[in-house]
Amino acid sequence: MPHGILRVAVAVGAAKSAVWTRRNDETGKPEGVTVDLGAELANSLGVPFEIVEHSSSADIVAHANDDVWDVTFVPVDAERKVLVSFGTNYHLGDSTYLVSATSSFRGVADLNQPGVTIAGIEGTATLRSVRRASPAANVIGADATSEVIALFESGKADAIALGRESLRSLEIPGTRILDDYYHATGTAVAVPLGRPLARDIVTGFIEKAKANGVLRRIFNANGLAHANVAPENSVS
């Protein structure tokens, strides 16, 4: 490591998923899959590690060339491939909408109409897909999950757009999650551009973590027993 420490960038918010971490009420520190993966990676390298907090995966990628982090774990899409260097996927998942339990929305296509407002995190692969899937709707991009939830609970948004695991973790009373989805992709380990050796090292770590069950254990320990571990050498 160029700084003698592994700096792991994580997204901290109100949700908890293969990407999102959530702050522990007692310690104030973020907890989740990416924190645990970072700790395992640092241990395998024999170096200390430091958590670098960001407001979203979009915020992480936006700072990829600012020398503030060494490794991260974020969803893959075409826009990000020119900003960071991805290794293999560690998670496969989809994104959909959370809506009021009493709403008439039954599928993703139902929200693609004028007068419908959808809220999500600006700059994310998820929200870019929302704008493609629901061009007729009003799509609002916020900086944090707490802002998205506030828009929904205040009635300013008809739906929340996030990954399915993230939506499940919100546990907002009187809501339901649609069965179908508008976006499916892998979430992968990534390093800043121009570091091919680092990319190969972290990719090797991810593949080993899949094979030896470490990744499954980390998912389960974070309440994500339903999350899908990506297949061997999976790329998006």
pLDDT digits (tens, 9 = 90+) for 70-81: 999 999 999 999
| Residue 130 belongs to domain spanning | 93-183
**Do residues 173 and 204 share a domain?**
no
Q: Is the model's pLDDT at 108 over the cut of 60? A: yes
Q: Note whether residue 234 is domain-resident.
A: no
Per-residue confidence (pLDDT) for residue 2, from 0 to 100: 63
Question: How many structural domains is the chain composed of?
Answer: 2
Q: Is the model's pLDDT at 163 over the cut of 70? A: yes
**Do residues 59 and 10 share a domain?**
yes
pLDDT, average across residues 4-30: 95
User: Which pLDDT band, with edges at 50, 70 and 90, does 159 fall under?
Assistant: very high
User: Which pLDDT band, with edges at 50, 70 and 90, does 117 fall under?
Assistant: very high
**Do residues 106 and 219 share a domain?**
no
**Do residues 22 and 138 share a domain?**
no
- For residue 164, the domain's CATH number is 3.40.190.10
First to last CA, the chain: 27
- Does 9 or 171 have the greater pLDDT score? 9
**Do residues 191 and 83 share a domain?**
yes
Q: Note whether residue 1 is domain-resident.
A: no
Helix residue ranges, H only, 122-184: 125-133, 145-153, 164-170
**Do residues 81 and 110 share a domain?**
no
Q: Is the model's pLDDT at 203 over the cut of 70? A: yes
CB 29 within 8 A of CB 23: yes
Q: Note whether residue 236 is domain-resident.
A: no
**Do residues 150 and 169 share a domain?**
yes
Per-residue confidence (pLDDT) for residue 4, from 0 to 100: 84
